[in-house]
Each structure stands twice: as structure tokens, then as C-alpha cells.
Amino acid sequence: MKKRYYFDHNATTPVRPEVLDAMLPYLTEKYGNASSVHSFGRDARHAMEKSREIVATLINADPEEIYFTGCGTESDNIALTGTMTSARDGKNRLITSKVEHSAIMNTAAKLKHDGFQITYIGVDEYCRTDINQLKNVIDNNTALVSIMHGNNETGVLQNIEEAAKIAHSAGAVFHTDAVQSAGKIPIDVKKMGIDMLSMSGHKLNAPKGIGVLYIKKGLKITPLTYGGSHERGIRPGTENVAGIVALAKAVDLAMQDMENEAVTISALRDRLESEIEHVVSNVLFNGRGVPRLPGTSNISFPGVDGEALLFSMDIEGVAASTGSACTTGEVEPSHVLVAMGREPKTAQSSLRFSMGWGTTDAGVDHILNRLPVVLNRLRSISGGI
């Protein structure tokens, strides 16, 4: 079979063998319900609470501040809706950014529909949130500020420490969507002033179906669903013990490898970008030159259609991504690139290559070898440059 190279780690990641080994017993012989009082249940609960401690260590939280959920999207929904619907003193405003993931964007849209006031902060041409705008628009009516940590499309890191300070100065709660950054770069919720943080297992080499919401001690939020007392009522439903154990193992490995991986993966990304500049004409790098996640590269190739480029590279054995969304049958340009000031047509000519555990120089070489050929062909068909 033809060799395939995976450059879509921001979409999802492979489960590491150590993670699979750690979780398997919780699907086979240790299948107890963590709420049961017998020994099967106690084994499951013990594993779950041990895992909570490990996850807490990653972000310098206390274990009782960690709530397991089903995914990053669910964590974002609980954080936003749970805070807004329990906001005190009649506060009804949520401030977020224009470059958030749809898990935030569409939750904010629903809250708007329900009568809350939503304000979107813009970004500069490097995808950095406009902190001055945040300072200017925040007021005493603001219940919550939610600004993502690492952008999923460009990898650009937001100044969340500053955003948290501004939120607190107006008495608002600060949430960050750290689904792309957790496990890749250091996070300290105490030092950074984060009140709530979302994470997702499948972005850091654990399986799909496990997420985390960190909620600072003392913060009161309304749950979205009702049932038993699991996760202290914030996320009722029998816990996914195998997923939780897997996540803790992945977090453990991430903590051991973070520094080295960041160096290795950034070097691969930098080589990809600097060599693309040599082998391809007319390229624009999105978010290059400012602090970014180690493995995300977002590049516009004016004159080609991003979707056509994506499919052509897939045929060549390279799995990448476009930030475009398909709505009502039309391919919409990425809202992130448009917010950065890219023309819609340029935004639609972009590809994201995202790297992580398992990415090698061989993959980068393969892209550098095939991309110029594919681009030349597509540009000649479209009459582009």
C-alpha cells in the first residue's frame, strides 16, 4: 500500500500504544461502574481519582477542580452556558473572540438567541486578539470572557494572562478553550488567572470521547444536563473510566515529553515552511512570526482552490486540512483567516498542516516533493499564478 503521511494532528491524533495499554484493562477485566460500592466499582473509582490528580498536575489545578466530560465541545458548552445562565446581579454579557472554534461560536450564537448580549473581539493580521479592544468594551455587565489559548487553524497563541486580568478587573469570569494547547505547551491556571479551561483527550493522543473542564474552586455554574451526582452534578452520567485512564496516561506522557516534543515539532514545522518558500512561488504564511503552537502551519497558496489542493495532496498521500466550512452546500472561507484580514479568495486557497507525535522528516520531505507538482498543475488549470 502507498505510504500515507498524517498532517492533521489538530483534527485528531493517534492513540499512543502506551495509552491503549493503560486503558484496555478498564474495558475488559476492570469494567466496574465508578459509583458502585463493591470492589469492581472501587477499582474503577480509584483509577478515576488517580487520573484526576494527573490531569490536575498538567495545569496546576487541584484534583477537585477537574470535571470529566465527553469532549472539548461539551466542556465549552458547560463553561459558557453554565456561567451565563447562573450569572448574578443581572449580568448578561459574554465577550469572546472572532477566531474561536465552532464549539464556542455556536454556543455563543445560541446564547444570543436566548437573549444574552455577545461581543466579539477582533484579531490583528497575525491572529492575535486585540487586547485594547477587550479593555475598551468590557463593563460591569460582563459575566464572562472566553478567549481561546491556541488557535486551531493558525496555532497562534493568545495573550490569555492579559485577557484574564482585564476580565477580573470588571468582575467577570475568565474561560479559555485550551483544546489545542493543553499537553503541548505549559499551562498554569493559577499563574495565568484562568477560572475555567476546556481540554479534549483526542487532541493529545488519547481516544475520542473524553474531555475535561477545569472549574476554579468556589465558582458556581449551572449544569446543562441532569441526572446522578457524577462529577459533582456538573456532568451527570456514568463516567467513561477507560477514557479517563487513557487521558491521564496521555497527559503523563505529554508532561514527560513536552519540552523535547516542542523543540522537535517546531523544527519540523519551521523546515516545512522555510523550504516551501524555496520550492513554491507566491505563498503566504498565516500567523508565522508570532508565538504559535509548535506543530501548526497554515499557508495560503493564491491561485488555487484549497479544497482541490486538499484532495490532490490526499491522492499524493498527504492528509492535511482546510479551515473552510461547508454550510448550505457552499464552501465558506475560514472565519479565522477572514478575521485576520485575508481576502475570502485567498483564505479559500489555504491549507493547514498540523504535526505531532509520530510526525517525521520523511513526511515533510514528501510534502516538499509533491506540493510543487500538485500546485503547478492546479495553478495551470485555474490560470492562476
Least distance to ligand PLP from the beta carbon of 72, Å?
A: 3
CA 10 to CA 15: how far, in whole Å? 14
CA 193 to CA 216: how far, in whole Å? 10
DSSP letter at 26 equals G
Q: Decide whether 152 or 346 has the Cβ nearer to ligand PLP.
A: 152
**Interface positions with ligand PLP (CB under 6 A):** 71-73, 76, 101, 103, 148, 152, 177, 179-180, 200, 202, 211
CA 68 to CA 91: how far, in whole Å? 28
Least distance to ligand PLP from the beta carbon of 96, Å?
A: 12
What cell was used for 87? 450569572
Q: Length of the chain in residues, anyone?
A: 385
What cell was used for 27? 474495558
Say which of 27, 109, 315, 326 is annotated catalytic: 326
CA 329 to CA 351: how far, in whole Å? 20
Nearest to 333 by CA among 310, 316, 350, 358: 350
CA 48 to CA 110: how far, in whole Å? 33
Q: Decide whether 80 or 375 has the Cβ nearer to ligand PLP.
A: 80
Q: Decide whether 348 or 354 has the Cβ nearer to ligand PLP.
A: 354
326 is catalytic: yes
Least distance to ligand PLP from the beta carbon of 46, Å?
A: 26
CA torsion sign, 307 to 338 to 354 to 19?
negative
CA distances in angstroms from 384 to 166, 210, 309, 379, listed in the order given: 45, 44, 13, 5
Least distance to ligand PLP from the beta carbon of 213, Å?
A: 11
Least distance to ligand PLP from the beta carbon of 29, Å?
A: 28
Q: Decide whether 118 or 304 has the Cβ nearer to ligand PLP.
A: 118
What radius of gyration do the chain's Cα atoms show?
A: 21
Q: Decide whether 200 or 300 has the Cβ nearer to ligand PLP.
A: 200
List, by residue number, the catalytic residues: 326
